[in-house]
Structure 1
Amino acid sequence: MDYQTFQPHSDLKSVVKCFWTLEVPAEESSQRQRILPDGCIELIFMLGDDVKRIISENEFIVQPRTMVIGQITEPFLIEPTGYVHSFAVRFYPYGFANFVPVPIKNLANKETPAAALFGETASKELEQKIIQATDTPGRIKIAEDFLLDKLKNKATIDHIVKSTIDIIFSTKGSAAVHTILKGDLSKRRQLERKFLQQVGMSPKQLCKVIRLQTALKMLLHPQGESLTEIAYESEYYDQAHFTKDFQEFTGTNPKDFLSDKTMMLSALFYKQG
């Protein structure tokens, strides 16, 4: 399993968190994997075999070859059909709204074909260029040129949304929204509307996801802390609160996370950002 991340062009650093690639040989890829919420939106190009997303015990969909994964608030259960080879752009929570005219809330908890957002012709042209590129630097250059061209024609993201997200990240999700807005109820309602439009989830949901990230990284890079210590250091009220949020977003509990084989891919993503 080979997962790598790459930094974007300086003109995209405010909206693109990173580019990433993932390769998993067919003989290692049959295990179902749970993909956890991370507060980001991703544009993904499937360069290998198809990947299924399991919807229920007897239902699945085959994910589009080029797609945007919106904000997710529960784990995605996926199952590769063979060789996994993906190239992707990971956007900051407010980043993707700069590139498309649709409300970001419309993309939540599903995969949307890129053609539905960028148009059939532009999407197919981008997809073919990515497929035909011979290496990752070439794919990054193609994606950056596409995004920079789109960025020229989009309004800057709303200041109140970005500043709130900056606070959420800097406090690792522990800042209460009413504290950020100094208790102004009218501002809170306005902020929540803008978050759904530009981020795809509420400020409270993003806080919960970012706080969970902090706890997950401590689990993956242990320094001898107990679960109770991890809970308090991640600003949970207590271990019960930590466990409840953990199960909501991962489908498992903190004790079982590291030994759960369906979490191998998510653990890899979280370890390397």
Structure 2
Amino acid sequence: MHYNIIPPPNELKDIVSYFWVCTLDLSKQANQTYWVVANSLTEITFAFQDNKKHSELLFTAVQGQTNEPNHFSVKGYYHLFGVSLNSFALPLLFNLPASELNKEFISLNTLLGKEGDMLTEKIALASNTRERINILSNYFIKLLKNKRNDDKIITEAIKLIKKCGGNKKINELSSQFCLSEKQFKRRFKEFSGFTPKLYNRIVRFESVIKSNTNWSTLTEAAHLNGYFDQAHLNHDFKTFTGFSPKDFYKLSEQF
């Protein structure tokens, strides 16, 4: 499996976390299962038959941020192109509370209607990844010119949790932004999809996955990322992926 991350243009760096491309081993059977693990981001995915020029677009998927693992039966694919959006992009771009997409796995058409159809057609006709990135970037930039539901305080709080790797005390955050804990939690959920405590926990777990080249044992990973001990990290692996750490990494090797 080949997986690449592409940074967004400067105009989108606050709402787009990254673009990504994933190509599976063409010598193996096409993947007919789309696996989902806990994710603080919202992902828009386009699945293709293979990675050749003008490959057939098989399906689109909008995966809302989630705290639960899941899997879905899909048409067999070998190549994926996608964009991972910060959750506060949903109210900002689409005037949609982030919480409305929690745990959802829907088509782009279901989310955007005719606009989704037009966007899907453009992506299907594009020749390569760079063209697809340009199509989505131009679409998001156009939407940004007509910003809808924005909350700069909560957006900054979300960014701070990300920057701290999910190791930020919630009462300190609400105090820092001069909000009562009740106000903070209500506004936070609209723009992140989660309570601050759960979002913090998901981001901390994501930090473990992203830092896997910086540690050699799970005990080291736990300590580097703010866990009390490995047992707590093992518990989060099971909760957020559905697998033990060993089985989770074994699964990724199959593709």
TM-score scaled by length of structure 2: 0.85
Matches within 5 A, 1:173-252: 173-182=166-175, 187-218=180-211, 220-221=212-213, 223-224=215-216, 226-252=217-243
Instruction: Determine the C-alpha separation between the residues in 1 that align with 2:122 and 2:94.
Output: 20
Correspondence for 2:103 among 97, 100, 109: 109
Matched pairs, number? 247
Instruction: Report the alpha carbon displacement of residue 28 of structure 1 after superposing the two structures with TM.
Output: 4.2
Q: Which 5+ residue runs of structure 1 have no aligned equivalent?
A: 50-63, 269-273
Instruction: Determine the C-alpha separation between the residues in 2 that align with 1:3 and 1:127.
Output: 22
For residue 65 of structure 1, give the secondary structure of its aligned residue in structure 2: strand
Instruction: Determine the C-alpha separation between the residues in 2 that align with 1:150 and 1:222.
Output: 38
Equivalence for 2:5: 5
Instruction: Report the alpha carbon displacement of residue 126 of structure 1 after superposing the two structures with TM.
Output: 1.1
- Tell me if 1:82 matches 2:70: no
Q: Percent identity?
A: 28
Instruction: Report the alpha carbon displacement of residue 172 of structure 1 after superposing the two structures with TM.
Output: 0.9
Instruction: Report the alpha carbon displacement of residue 141 of structure 1 after superposing the two structures with TM.
Output: 1.1
Instruction: Determine the C-alpha separation between the residues in 2 that align with 1:97 and 1:231.
Output: 34
**AA matched with 2:83:** V
In 2 relative to 1, CA 126–246 (structure 1 residues): closer, same or farther, beyond 3 Å?
same
Q: Which moved more, 1:227-236 or 1:132-141?
A: 227-236
Instruction: Determine the C-alpha separation between the residues in 2 that align with 1:77 and 1:223.
Output: 28
Instruction: Report the alpha carbon displacement of residue 112 of structure 1 after superposing the two structures with TM.
Output: 2.5
Would the aligned equivalents of 2:47 and 2:81 in 1 still touch at CA under 8 Å? Answer: yes
- Tell me if 1:165 matches 2:158: yes
Q: Which 5+ residue runs of structure 2 have no aligned equivalent?
A: 51-57
**Over aligned residues, Cα RMSD in angstroms?**
2.7
TM-score scaled by length of structure 1: 0.80
Correspondence for 1:91 among 77, 85, 88: 85
Would the aligned equivalents of 1:23 and 1:83 in 2 still touch at CA under 8 Å? Answer: no
**AA matched with 1:236:** Y
For residue 18 of structure 1, give the secondary structure of its aligned residue in structure 2: strand
